[in-house]
Amino acid sequence: MILTLLKRLFLFASLALTVLPCSAQDSDKVALQFISFPRIVSPEPIELSIGKGKTIEVEIPSNALSKVYNVKRPENWIFGESTTNEKDEPIFNAFGQVKALSSPEQLILLIREGKKNSDGFEVIALDNQVSKFGGGKFLFMNMAKVDIAGIIGKQKFAIKPNKFTIVKPEPEKANARVCHVRLFYTKKNKAKPFFSSKWPISIGSRGFIFFYHDPKTKQLRYHSIRDFLRKK
């Protein structure tokens, strides 16, 4: 009786040892997506470091989110270019990096510091799980030189330059599929309206709005992207 019980306990422990490494391995995997700004018609891909001496090439579109890349979680997401030094030895030139989140789904924003990838990026990692940034929500990123404020549905928000916020608006009317959006910027400590319209709200999509100053006209503009969530 005791011998049989010990055999069962040994078998259970053996099964646990075979299962745990797989679970730990799965928890280290991250589903990554990318988006870059300012927008470029055909942005060049960039290399993502995935380990010592190892990289993969990833797309960084500016008019939509990239496809999903499944990679092992590092300490930092590092982006750059593989090349060689004067001794013809392989090296990796980093153009930007950010600490990796613990989330199994992450969205990486790459904010360009110039026209070329080699000019560098400010990199922002976001939790891309539906519970954190799902349908019906809007991400507002302020790349302008002034404070931005807005009212979307019944929700108010304000963002300083180089900051962002995620808003989930409540429709002004029950079951409404659109919401009224009003945007303002500050000038001499006064709010100045610069946009008013109606935007669709759907649990099947989310929005990205980037505020910036047009480099040619210096006028305040915004660039919007609507992302339709993939079904799992």
pLDDT, tens only, 208-220: 999 999 988 999 9
Nearest to 33, CA basis, from 137, 119, 126, 120: 126
Question: What is the predicted pLDDT for the residue at 217?
Answer: 93
List the CATH number of the domain containing 152: 2.60.40
Domains in the chain, number: 2
Where a domain ends, among 98, 128, 158?
128
Residue 185 located in a structural domain: yes
For residues 139 and 231, state if they share a domain.
yes
Where a domain ends, among 104, 128, 152?
128
pLDDT band at 88 (very low <50, low <70, confident <90, very high): confident
* Stretch 116-137: mean pLDDT: 95
For residues 121 and 138, state if they share a domain.
no
Q: Could you please report the per-residue DSSP string of 82-108?
A: EEE-TTS-EEEEEEEEEEPPS-SEEEE
Q: Are 102 and 29 spatial neighbours (Cβ–Cβ below 8 Å)?
A: no
Burial of 31 (0-12, 13-18, 19+ CB in 10 A): middle
pTM, two decimal places: 0.83
For residues 187 and 144, state if they share a domain.
yes
Q: What is the mean pLDDT of the chain?
A: 88
Residue 57 located in a structural domain: yes
Residue 3 located in a structural domain: no
Per-residue model confidence as pLDDT tens digits over 42-83: 999 999 999 888 999 999 999 999 999 999 999 999 999 999
Q: Are 38 and 122 spatial neighbours (Cβ–Cβ below 8 Å)?
A: no
Question: What is the predicted pLDDT for the residue at 41?
Answer: 86
Using a pLDDT cut of 90, give the percent of the chain over it.
72
Residue 87 has pLDDT above 50, yes or no: yes
* Stretch 117-138: mean pLDDT: 95
Q: Strand runs (DSSP E) across the chain, as ranges?
A: 29-37, 46-51, 54-58, 69-72, 76-84, 90-99, 105-112, 121-127, 138-142, 148-152, 155-159, 163-167, 178-187, 190-200, 205-213, 220-228
Q: Are 212 and 26 spatial neighbours (Cβ–Cβ below 8 Å)?
A: no
CB neighbourhood size of 84 (10 A): 9
Question: What is the predicted pLDDT for the residue at 231?
Answer: 65
For residues 155 and 226, state if they share a domain.
yes
Domain that holds residue 43: 29-128
For residues 180 and 95, state if they share a domain.
no
